[in-house]
Structure 1
Amino acid sequence: MISPIATLIVGAGPFGLGLASYLQRRRHDYRLVGKPLEFWERHMPRGMLLRSSANWYLDPDHEWTIERFFAQHHPDRAPAEPISREQYLAYMSWFMQQSEIGAQPHYVRHLTRNGTAFTAELENGETIRARNVVLATGFRDFACYPAGLVARLPEGRYQHTCDAVNLDLYRGKRVLLIGGRQSAFETAALLCEAEAAHVHLSYRHDTPRFVEADWSWVETIVEQMASHPAWFRELTPEQQEAYRHKLWAEGRLKLEPWLESRICRDEVTLHPRTEVASVTRKPDDSLLVTLTDEETFVVDDIILATGYQVDIKRLPFLSEALQEAVAVRNGFPLLDVHFQSTVPGLYFSSFPAGQSFGPFFGFTVAVRTAAKLIGEAVC
């Protein structure tokens, strides 16, 4: 049976939920498909702390905020206390309830365009036809496995951080973490707290400073873009690159101070300004690691904290015709000021919007602006 609707939202993470709330309040004919909060529940480790503040709430109408959630459910929480993954999951569930958002917990198996409408085939066999489709699928399909690095690693002996989330499995083990951003250092701290025997971190740059990141300027930019969505694309290429570097520096050159005491311990060895030169499997199935500074050590497992890289061809459900029809640059879809791609009616939100709207849209700080601009276009 084919169900005709106005707008189909694919992805039930923060960006999908924010847009669904906007459309729900305006009684727009939409459906949200995807497994709610799945990436946060299944691909982020227990005990993780967010770098974002309570200002990064999801409601584009500013009613169901994180502060309101904390006031109701955690009234004794200190304002400066970092938000945990568990608290944020609870907030998102509460937000869905308050906004009366329902999601159909199935993946899209295949998405095609027929004439002026889209046809989505779900994994449960249902078919949905929609005038508009908004892809808010987040990060999962864009996990980065650098080809040169992976070529030096034994097959089957490494995982990306988005899959290495049950850190109890590393109890008593020696682990190499490759990467030098906040996620790598926090994973190292969580591994130690899960009683890993030893954790090595290898990264190509100097060790970041333990200094609180300042995201206030990002919040201001993203909020203003709700009324001036062309702001980033109107900048010169040099200005755009300067903002990318500023955001990169905020996230890459700083580590949150609450990590310092958890990292500066005997069980953690830092290897700044290094890369993995080789990894050799030993007779006892352990791994002999050699770094570019010629230091060697033995580990049992390797985790890649190598981030994410957008390439829309990695979205498994997009038909070949749609992939070919969407204009891209550096793997990102090129979008108009309402997040619409070069395929009329096909919108991209979240991380893939970064080429056209700036790198800020890979963070939940941009949920409300994206919801407002897309919502205005489809309503």
Structure 2
Amino acid sequence: MYDLLVVGAGPYGLSVASHAAAAGLSLRVLGRPMASWRDHMPPGMFLKSEPAASNLSDPGGRWRLDTYCAGQGVRARHGEPIPVAMFASYGLWFARNAVPEVDERTVVRLSTVPGGFEAVVDDGEVLHARTVALAVGVLPFVEVPAALRELGPSYVSHSSDHGELGRFRGRDVTVIGGGQAALETAALLAEQGAHARVLARAGHLNWNDVPPALERPWWESARTPHSGLGCGWRNWFYAERPNLFHRLPETTRARIAATALGPAGAWWLRHRVEPAVELLLGHEVAAAYVTGGGVRLETVGRGGEPASLETEHVIAATGFSATRERLGLLADELRGELAAVADGSPDVGRDFESSVPGLFMAGLVTASGFGPAMRFVHGATFTAETLVRGVRRRLRTAQVPVPQRRREALDPARR
């Protein structure tokens, strides 16, 4: 039986594994390394985060993004975006150097057993561990507007469904959303010969400012400090003090997690979007129907005025909703044991442990617990250090997770 099973091999899973290995824990890491970045983002995309905020985490800080880039003859400069393909390659390099060998199989079912957890992988093998860290990324949580959910994949897809966009050359494609994923997807579509359109509820697009220089007069730094999530004291708090964010009232945390750092495009993307992409702003999809040539979208403007358009394909770049119910790999009994907060995401304690003893969470699913940093790679460092400390504490207590129904069966007072 392993001390720790890490489910997921993206930035959070690999960072947790690196810290766990350095702590001397026996562990197994399962998942395709950097799968979201390698398989679900088309060529030509760039990281929105600054290079300094895009490091995976190892205890010694040896395997940084700038170190990898230097080895490739590239400088990771402040204010210059890093290609997603390079970041994915960096993650693989990190996995080779900072993490025990990754088992690329997929966990299809996780349940509790006496003494810990049982994981079934996709070829049927069963693994056991005393604790588990779920670092499943964003893909289980894709969110598509209700009006589009009944249309098949030939007509509607999510932005995370596309490892390439070349098949849309010469076609009319409508991208739903006003954030970075929507805007960059639309720009790439236009650059590859599609007629791209962005449809968004907001009446205008938001664009991030060019980041100020790292070296600035002290009064500018004092007024708007740099952080892993951008400039300003509020962003600094989210980025650098997730432990204090966790102490805020639950309703406050949920509100901030849902609204902070809202939809916006990177400053370097604006000149690629505005001249090349049709913008239909201030409209929301009310209904959608399959027509002979594709999809008919019925929309409602901000003033209630109806409109419609026809398009050959719709790409929903509408984000992710990390709720407990979408953790489909959890056995029903285990999922039912998970306490949730107001937005439906699992409730996590100060060291990322869920309400099920020994079951830890990492990444987007913890944003309501520890703040907006958990939506970005930057949050992996705090998560890995804190979560592994919690795992070690749990292993010392040796408390056995037992589902509620089994506890009732074992309780003489309930017989």
Q: TM-score, normalised by structure 2?
A: 0.82
In structure 2, distance between residues paired with 1:320 and 1:342: 15
Distance 1:129 1:342, change over 3 A: same
The aligned residue for residue 284 of structure 2 is: 275
Question: Retained in 1: the 8 A contact 2:4–2:133?
Answer: yes
Question: Retained in 1: the 8 A contact 2:31–2:105?
Answer: yes
The aligned residue for residue 323 of structure 1 is: 335
In structure 2, distance between residues paired with 1:222 and 1:240: 14
In structure 1, distance between residues paired with 2:3 and 2:163: 37
Distance 1:243 1:184, change over 3 A: same
- Equivalent residue runs for 1:97-246 within 5 Å: 97-150=96-149, 156-196=154-194, 198-212=195-209, 215-216=230-231, 218=235, 221-225=238-242, 229=243, 231-236=244-249, 240=253, 243-244=256-257
> Does 1:305 pair with 2:320?
no
The aligned residue for residue 91 of structure 2 is: 92
The aligned residue for residue 396 of structure 2 is: none
Question: Retained in 2: the 8 A contact 1:164–1:303?
Answer: no
Q: Given residue 40 of structure 1, which amino acid in structure 2 is its aligned partner?
A: W
Q: Which runs of 5+ in 1 are unaligned?
A: none
3-state SS in 2 of match to 1:80: coil
**1:202 Cα deviation after fit:** 1.0
Q: Given residue 256 of structure 1, which amino acid in structure 2 is its aligned partner?
A: A
More deviation in 184-193 or 44-53? 44-53
More deviation in 357-366 or 69-78? 69-78
1:227-255, Cα deviation, whole Å (9 max, x unpaired): xx2x1232245754674477334xx2x32
In structure 1, distance between residues paired with 2:246 and 2:357: 20
Over the matched positions of the two proteins, sequence identity in percent amounts to: 28
Q: Which runs of 5+ in 2 are unaligned?
A: 212-228, 393-415
Question: Retained in 2: the 8 A contact 1:17–1:101?
Answer: no
Question: Retained in 1: the 8 A contact 2:20–2:388?
Answer: yes
1:115-144, Cα deviation, whole Å (9 max, x unpaired): 231111111222111110110001111001
Distance 1:237 1:340, change over 3 A: closer
Distance 1:306 1:277, change over 3 A: same
- Equivalent residue runs for 1:248-287 within 5 Å: 248-249=261-262, 252=263, 254-265=264-275, 267-283=276-292, 285-287=293-295
TM superposition outliers: structure 1 runs of 4+ over 6 Å: none
1:21-49, Cα deviation, whole Å (9 max, x unpaired): 11122222111011111111111121111
More deviation in 165-174 or 110-119? 110-119
More deviation in 295-304 or 168-177? 295-304
Distance 1:281 1:321, change over 3 A: closer
CA-atom RMSD in angstroms: 2.2
1:81-122, Cα deviation, whole Å (9 max, x unpaired): 101101101111111122143111111121111123111111
Distance 1:237 1:178, change over 3 A: same
Q: Given residue 368 of structure 2, which amino acid in structure 1 is its aligned partner?
A: Q
In structure 1, distance between residues paired with 2:80 and 2:376: 20
3-state SS in 2 of match to 1:82: coil
The aligned residue for residue 49 of structure 1 is: 46
In structure 1, distance between residues paired with 2:322 and 2:248: 22
Distance 1:115 1:178, change over 3 A: same
